[in-house]
Structure 1
Amino acid sequence: MVSKPVLIRNRFAYQQKRESSIKHRLPRLWQTRSMAISRPELMPVLLGTDVGTYSCARMFHEAFGCTSVSVSGMSRGSISHSNIIDPVYVGRGGTLNDQLMIETLEKIADTDRTPIIMPFMDRDVDLVLNYRDRLEKAGYVIPLAPTETVERASDKAVVNAICKERGLPTITTVPVPLDTDAGTWPGLLESITFPAVIKPRDGGMDYGKLQFSGQRKAYDAPDLDSAMKTLAKIQDAGFAGVMLVQDMVVGDDTQSWIVTGYVDSRGTITAIATGRQILGLHQSSFIGNAGIIHVTDHPELRRIAGEMIDALGLRGFFSIDIKIDSRTNMPHVLDVNPRWGRGSYYSVVGGVNLARAMVADFIDDIALPPIVAEKEGVYAFVPPVTVLRWVRDKDLRRHLVKLMLKRRPVHPLSYSKDPNFKRFAYRYAADFNQLKALIQNYPTPTETTF
């Protein structure tokens, strides 16, 4: 079970007593986006500055009317000039190290509000897990599974092994230790049928700390020679961990799906949403992130996600990437992220607020009934007009256009309760930059998405 700080139980006795009168209505109310339950004592502490950070703050504000605190090394447009986020900048003029971050987080927690720490990047998850005892002692609610579970879920080799055990489609995967001589690699890769994809084995926690030219979350390898060059480049950058070389699951962006949700401390998936990625972000540092998501229920993918959650014993937030091979129409689990996903706001488009699920579990100790995001809609971080060029399936394109005319796409940064001209200007500048980046990096859709 996920550990829960005991001190938060009685800190706001009056507030909790007042809200106890509506607990019998929570299973119905918590899923309703428009009906916020005022909980100003909650203080989400967000580690980051990107669209995922703002989306999380927005989700908490919509559910509880509370403001969040962001902790980062510098300001960034996604969270700047916001009335729902109080920014804290750490390490300006110096080095942003773990000790400084933890000391800052301890100071932030010294308040009458209930601090809830929310890491979004693998490196921040690593930070929270390494200093979990200190953070819990400071009073933080930490909605992450135990460290061993997070590590297993982040290990793509473990995920592939679970798929094999459960009779789910698997991907031929070869681990390549980069602390070995490059001359041994061709022999290891004999079972790979190119084209292939190359990824870090541990979900990127150690790999993400590196910085080198051309660094990506995933690399395509059309043939053995290109795979060798990519592995050598990563080795030369100082990475001595394990990279995975996998047979590619063929299909354009629209073959990729996301299953996002929350598993409570009892092991029940109390909130879950599925979305079809219509268009991904194709800049090298954003590979794997969605730009447009078609929010629509997919029961079979929910079932597969449930099997993975059960096998891993996962608790807390999760985001699972699944791709359906265009040649076989078979779904393949690519990644299990045991944390809040960057595009998780799409769940709200479908009618499910993940923040409510977590607060009900961790803070109110309420066993909610499972809820599924059933409202169809479109989450769009890039201009929706891009579907006209990047969606090749005419029927899907026609359906999306009709859907967006019926129900406007939801942009995670466009929040009516957080108005500011500078934010408005940033959003449209960001839209233009995303469109420009797509044209430069992914001018036409391909079966490899690279």
Structure 2
Amino acid sequence: MVRPPLDTTVPFVPVVLGGELATYTLARAFHAELDVRTTVISRTVPSAVRGSAIIDNVQLPGMDDDEQLLAGLSDIADANPGARVLVLGTVDTWVTRIAALRDRLDERFAIPYPPLPLIERLSDKEGFAALCAEVGVAHPVTRAIPADAAEADLGDLLEGLRWPLVVKAGDSSFSTLVYEGKKKVAYCDDLASLVELRRTMTTAGYAGSLVVQERIPGGDEQMRVLTTYSDLSGTVRWGRLGHVLLEDHDPAMIGNPLAVISGASFTAVGEATRMLEHVGWTGYANFDIKVDPRDGTEYFFELNPRLGRSHAYLSAAGHPIVAPMVREHVEDRDPYDGVEVGPETDDWLYSIVPVPLLARYVTDPATRRRLAAIRSTGRVVRPLRYDADPGRDRRLAQLKNDVRYVRNFATHYRRPVTA
């Protein structure tokens, strides 16, 4: 759904840290919704933003150092006198950095994230599980294995859980480790396999806790993604559910949604609202949810303190995603003043993977029919294809993306799993 760009009352510059695919789709949203260019700060020149006509890319090899990052942000503000600088991240690492540096940025900067302690509490898998229990939201049965727990005590710590179990690192330091066979999310069929996994992670240098959950049955098509926006008073103003058709199965990226169509739920937004308003959350939140095929229960898995990696499923259906942040954090207006969201049931497909590849993995007959109907109308959005940003580099970026996913699925996930 295409609308003319909205007007803004305050000059501003959106700055996005990183260079991932989601960085480009966020810049694309700023251009489509507000007709502004985005400045991307990255260590090198990522293919996702290379050659873009809507992005100014600032290379900052030392951006992992706080002083260098602050200096880089200050340079951008100095080059744009009279403008606010809206600082954003598309992965948790950058969001946490931005929130941590908030007090060292002056009034020229706008930071659309909650306080750092709240981000850390809810981004932590144990903290999120505790919040779900506190407010009575469905969450997979979860246990924590402390970093200092003796190997001989693991059986007692997991007493009562039903195997197989889902095992995740409880500490964000895991993301920086490199070792053979590393998986973002692991599945253990018995205690022996869990012990072996823990030994492997420890040998690689991981010193944090493990989060262990009972596995909810069902394949990728049982997954949902929910995005909400809370204003500065802590009131949830808006939320939309996406029905995931396919997830990433590369061990390093497993679980990330790759194809999303609009979804519907009678309870998900309400449950998220109870959690977020209970803790006073502000800004965007992104939830991973799985629907239990046995009884329809919607289990909340985790919260990301930002727009999700596949946030363009919202843009595809005509939901402005950057305008509310600009209205509230840059212009000091109501986030939805003059911002019209799209219809909840509008059928669009957002697919990071090539659509023919996606169609091979959709197994539910009703979903296959819906996907075919969407394809026949041409209501398909690809992440790196944008009419206002043509050029050889952009076509090449999309081609490289597609080839990579064809190879990854041939390697890691040759046939769909529905159980």
* Secondary structure in structure 1 of the residue aligned to 2:68: helix
Could you list the per-position Cα deviations for residues 293-321 of structure 1 after superposition, in whole angstroms to 9, with x for gaps in the alignment?
01233342222221222223211111111
Structure 1 letter corresponding to 2:203: D
Could you list the per-position Cα deviations for residues 25-46 of structure 1 after superposition, in whole angstroms to 9, with x for gaps in the alignment?
xxxxxxx742202559321111
* Secondary structure in structure 2 of the residue aligned to 1:45: strand
Which deviates more, 221-230 or 153-162?
A: 153-162
Compute the displacement of 1:372 (Å): 6.5
The equivalent residue for 2:393 is: 422
Could you list the per-position Cα deviations for residues 40-97 of structure 1 after superposition, in whole angstroms to 9, with x for gaps in the alignment?
9321111111111001101111111111111111111111100111111112xx7943
Structure 2 letter corresponding to 1:181: A
The equivalent residue for 1:107 is: 75
Structure 1 letter corresponding to 2:365: K
The equivalent residue for 2:163 is: 194
- The yes-or-no answer on 1:178 pairing with 2:147 is yes
Compute the displacement of 1:134 (Å): 1.1
Change (3 A) 1:180 1:373: farther
Structure 2 unaligned residues grouped into runs of 5+: none
Aligned pairs for 1:400-415 within 5 A: 400-415=371-386
Matched-pair contact (CA < 8 Å) for 2:63–2:69? no
Change (3 A) 1:408 1:124: same
Aligned pairs for 1:267-416 within 5 A: 267-368=234-335, 371=341, 374=344, 375-416=346-387
Instruction: Measure the CA separation in 1 of the matches of 2:242 and 2:108.
Output: 35
TM-score by length of 1: 0.86
Q: Which residue among 162, 166, 172 is the counterpart of 2:131?
A: 162
Instruction: Measure the CA separation in 2 of the matches of 1:184 and 1:447.
Output: 34
Structure 2 letter corresponding to 1:409: V
Structure 1 letter corresponding to 2:285: F
Say what the alpha-carbon RMSD is for the aligned residues.
2.1
The equivalent residue for 1:97 is: 65
Compute the displacement of 1:138 (Å): 6.3
Compute the displacement of 1:292 (Å): 0.6
The equivalent residue for 1:214 is: 181
Instruction: Measure the CA separation in 1 of the matches of 2:154 and 2:388.
Output: 55
The equivalent residue for 1:78 is: 48
Instruction: Measure the CA separation in 2 of the matches of 1:221 and 1:201.
Output: 16
Q: Which residue among 8, 22, 26 is the counterpart of 1:52?
A: 22
TM-score by length of 2: 0.92
Structure 2 letter corresponding to 1:429: K
The equivalent residue for 1:14 is: none
Instruction: Measure the CA separation in 2 of the matches of 1:317 and 1:412.
Output: 20
Could you list the per-position Cα deviations for residues 172-209 of structure 1 after superposition, in whole angstroms to 9, with x for gaps in the alignment?
2111122343333232122321111111235x3x3323
* Secondary structure in structure 1 of the residue aligned to 2:252: helix
Structure 1 unaligned residues grouped into runs of 5+: 1-31
Instruction: Measure the CA separation in 2 of the matches of 1:100 and 1:138.
Output: 19
Which deviates more, 250-259 or 35-44?
A: 35-44
* Secondary structure in structure 2 of the residue aligned to 1:297: coil
Which deviates more, 326-335 or 122-131?
A: 122-131
The equivalent residue for 1:69 is: 39
- The yes-or-no answer on 1:88 pairing with 2:58 is yes
Change (3 A) 1:236 1:127: same
Instruction: Measure the CA separation in 1 of the matches of 2:32 and 2:185.
Output: 34
* Secondary structure in structure 2 of the residue aligned to 1:446: coil
* Secondary structure in structure 1 of the residue aligned to 2:193: helix
The equivalent residue for 1:235 is: 202
Instruction: Measure the CA separation in 1 of the matches of 2:343 and 2:121.
Output: 27
Matched-pair contact (CA < 8 Å) for 2:13–2:86? yes
Matched-pair contact (CA < 8 Å) for 1:377–1:403? yes
Instruction: Measure the CA separation in 2 of the matches of 1:76 and 1:238.
Output: 28
* Secondary structure in structure 1 of the residue aligned to 2:118: helix
Change (3 A) 1:421 1:398: same
- The yes-or-no answer on 1:436 pairing with 2:403 is no
Matched-pair contact (CA < 8 Å) for 2:114–2:283? yes
The equivalent residue for 1:34 is: 3
Structure 2 letter corresponding to 1:302: V
Compute the displacement of 1:220 (Å): 1.4
Matched-pair contact (CA < 8 Å) for 1:295–1:379? no
The equivalent residue for 1:265 is: 232
Instruction: Measure the CA separation in 2 of the matches of 1:304 and 1:385.
Output: 35
* Secondary structure in structure 1 of the residue aligned to 2:159: helix
Change (3 A) 1:61 1:301: same
- The yes-or-no answer on 1:129 pairing with 2:99 is yes
